[in-house]
Amino acid sequence: MKIFIGLIALFSLSTGVVSAQTAFETDETDFYVDNQTNESLAFVNMLICYMKAMAPDQMVNLGAYIATVYMDECEKEDTSSSDQASATPTSAQSASNAGSEATSGGQGNQGKDVDTNTVNVTRADNSSPMIAKVWVNMDEEEAEEEGDMPEPAMSIFVKAEQSEGPSDSKRFGVFKMVGTYLIGKDFTPGPGMDAIPAGTKMGGMYLEADGNTVKFREETMMGPPEALTATFTTDGVSGVYNQETMVPYGGDYAQLQLVSKFAISNSAKVYCSVLLTAKLLDFDNPDSDGRPTLVDYTPTGSDGLTTDEVCYSTAAADAKRNVWRYGVYKSDGSRFEVGQGGFPMKATVTVDGAQREIHAWADYWGVHVDDQFASAVKYVGESSPTTFTKEQFAGETGTPPTYQIKRANARIEKVEKSYVALESLHKANVVMWVDKWDTNWNSKYNTLGFTGSSAEYAGSYNKDNQTWTFDKKITFDSGYNETTLGTPITFTNAQWVSTMARTYGGGSDTWTENRRLWLWSRDEHKGYEVGKKSLENPTDATSTNGIPVETVTTLTPANFPSTLYCVDRCTTAAKLTATVNAAKAASSEGSTVVSPYDADNWQIIQSGSDAGNWFPGILATNVKTYTISGVQVLDSTNTEIMFPTDVTKPEEQLKKSVFQWPWGSTNELQWGIGTGRLLASTTDLDKLECEKDSGGDYRDTHPTFSASAKRYCPDKLYDDGSTITTWYELRFGANRWDRQKFLTDQATSQDVVFTPPTTLYYTVPDEAKYGDDRGKKIRLDYQGFGELHGIPGEVINTLTGESLGQYYSGEWNDNLRYTHRFIIEKDAAGNDPTVTTGGASPTTYKVKALEGDEWLTLKTSAKGTLTYTGTASDMPASSVLEDVHPGATGGGIGAEPTTGLLNAGKASVIHGTKVISD
């Protein structure tokens, strides 16, 4: 059905003209209605997006042209896996153990899913039919997970004809569209299976509108047929459709095909449906056409299915909404652009001996080339590096700039520490880990009210009375368990400071340890370490009293430090190579291999009776010095530290091997390794020298070090009074995110510097409808127009409209979605929503919702009030499909045009933007 989404758009021509206004006023807001029928009618739901993407209304009778479409921006993605991951709780205990990595943020945009189509839309005159021919070449797609079937390369041929336009008596006019899918190249579905030769018919599709009835059918060898019949009246629509869904089955998930009837009444504002049949797809026993056989399935109720009639209100006021895309605008109504944003590129490479045009996307997060073609790209430093050409949009003139990609074997990130006031956490939803196994602090936790065993506690901070309130206890003993406390645990900042302190030593060497309050913010998905001074001065955001926060910056080679010093968690070229080679040579999966880290760079005693015990201090002579040359990270032997370049499939080649940390746990090598915090100057390095007493001797007498041997205590980086505000972190691995890519402009030989995301703040209106979020100040990341992220979420049952909370550990099904807890919209007084930058003189921007979902709410009183028309037999049969490929009788639509294309064969339309002049 993916192809239909784009092709039906050819007949959806825009008719309106809008007078000149600001972008804030003219940018449209689109909400896509989510229900079972619309899941089946995805091509209708995405109609507007594809109309813009292919710009057919601007291209009639201009000739054959190329249209580039960003599929990921038009398809309504299957978000079930990402939603389920978002709904999985993060343990405050594990997050605090992860250190700075828990606050580093995500990997950012991973690129664009690009399709290139050849289109020719013609019309002889106003009384003649409109005819469209479309050629689509889809690349093969590897299986996403083990056990899944890959998708073959396909050649798609479509012929469409519209003989009558819409009218009062014929809502959709009269048109018919048919298509044929052929295997694009020899394809082997799986191990031990016979290859399917190129040119084999894989399936086809049919779409017809005649007056007020629409019929649709699609067949492929990859699954059961999809079909629909819908008849529209002056008051609504009714019909029959089928759809696929996933349900828990036998300890795993099974794929079902459902057939349902539906009816919609516009006057009653009601939508109802009834499940007619459910069939389980048996892929182990395919039919004669290679499709899975269908086996009767009985809904269980717990699978999210019901055979009862289900009705919903379609009134806008009753709908539950979620916005996934916002626009941010300057005070004059123009769009707020962040600077050098991302852009698309294309290049020609050799794949299996043939020339192929491939697409890439470059932005702040790096350069992304589709995985299946990445091996064909040649990087700077290799013979004949691949040259990419920027795809230009309307208004961009001159020769398009060209670029080459520079690839490193490491990822270098700069981390900068700044400070926020404790009061900025006002009403934030936070979790803290209470470790009752720690005998030094057990009794003190009891004093505050945290009695019993170790657990996590969820609560919030109130800046007005400087009080913490924890009202939920969380355990992970048998999954995620959250219990509301009968009596909440409360304490003030002053009570924490006075209670959570221990004094050591005596006389002039007396010193006090103040326990920090480590918190995980569920709203921002980051950790905060609140020290004594922050608790005593909750309004102060200076380095003296503020809470430290970390900002990670992706660097270009021009900004790499020349030298880095590693005190703890350090590797060398020899050690990393030895670890990787041991994993490659392992005789079985999951083997334990030698650690890639040098034992001398842990605060672990290496010899004597105390061997294996932790003790502060690492000898200065053991500090590792790394130098940066170009994009290479070199150790003291001038050897590049890297995963061997022949490791291209780490999951297979490294055999899930693990190495052991000094504290006993293990880490899978396939995910790469990271260093500790690295310093770029000896001045900062010397700030880590271990504490000395009043006599100039080291306060801690190390069991094996010489008393006078210079040593560093890396934990000082975390001290409240640390003046080190900048450090670096390195990652090495075989995955694309650990092999950083940079874009080099061929005209200037300089690396392109993309603008990083901008931090913005939104204050939730102090209104009852926002619940616990009312009055909160939320930190958001703005990554460019339409990309505003960071709104806290919750799990919604879209069937009932019920909120299941921020986290959910039950069985996941298609009715569950992880959505934002609120929408950024006008407040009760009608004021437009705004966001601001930080700092003493913040800039204010306006915000507007652009795209989102709408879920209908249940209306049980409507059951039995609507009339259904049609049965499953009314859906179009296989006989409606026609062959229109060039080898069909009569030649079909003919061969794909390769000469005489508009714009010399370059894209004339790039995702809705016409880039040529008439």
Per residue in 842-867, pLDDT (tens digit) is 999 999 999 887 777 788 999 999 99
**What's the pLDDT score for residue 654?**
96
Per residue in 101-116, pLDDT (tens digit) is 333 333 444 556 677 8
Which residue pairs, CB below 8 angstroms and at least 24 apart, start in 823-826? 823/321, 823/322, 823/323, 823/849, 823/852, 824/323, 824/326, 824/762, 824/791, 824/849, 825/849
Quote the tokens at residue 752: 């392109």
Residues 690/626, Cβ–Cβ less than 8 Å: no
Q: How many Cβ atoms sit within 10 Å of the Cβ of residue 502? A: 12
- CA proximity to 788, closest of 326, 449, 432: 326
Report percent pLDDT > 90 for the chain: 44
Do strands 844-855 and 501-504 pair parallel, antiparallel, or not at all (unpaired)? unpaired
- CA proximity to 569, closest of 610, 533, 536, 598: 598
3-state secondary structure 514-548: ECCEEEEECCCCEEEEECHHHHHCCCCCCCCCCEE
Q: Whole-angstrom Cα distance, residue 198 to residue 466?
A: 70
DSSP three-state, residue 511: strand
- Residue 496 phi, psi (nearest 5): -65, -45
Residues of the chain with pLDDT under 70: 1-20, 32-52, 57, 71-113, 142-149, 393-396, 799
Q: Whole-angstrom Cα distance, residue 273 to residue 311?
A: 7
**What's the pLDDT score for residue 890?**
86
**What's the pLDDT score for residue 625?**
98
**What's the pLDDT score for residue 408?**
95
Quote the tokens at residue 163: 């003989």
3-state secondary structure 105-142: CCCCCCCCCEEEEEEEEEECCCCCCEEEEEEEEECCEC
For 40-91, give the DSSP string: HTHHHHTHHHHHHHH-GGGTTTS--EEEEEEHHHHS----HHHHHHHTSPPP
Q: Give the count of alpha carbons within 13 A of 448, CB side only.
A: 26
The model scores a pTM over 0.85: no
Per residue in 645-679, pLDDT (tens digit) is 899 899 999 999 999 999 889 999 999 999 999 99
Q: Whole-angstrom Cα distance, residue 728 to residue 108?
A: 19
DSSP three-state, residue 843: coil
Cα dihedral sign, 802-805-806-811: negative
Quote the tokens at residue 233: 């009246």
Q: Whole-angstrom Cα distance, residue 673 to residue 670?
A: 9
Who's near 483: CB < 8 A, 6+ residues apart? 472, 473, 474, 475
Residues 207/171, Cβ–Cβ less than 8 Å: no
C-alpha to C-alpha distances, 122 to 10, 62, 613, 755, 812, nearest whole angstrom = 11, 8, 79, 43, 48
**What's the pLDDT score for residue 34?**
59
User: Given its phi and psi angles, is residue 857 left (phi above 0), alpha (psi -120 to 50 degrees) or beta?
Assistant: beta
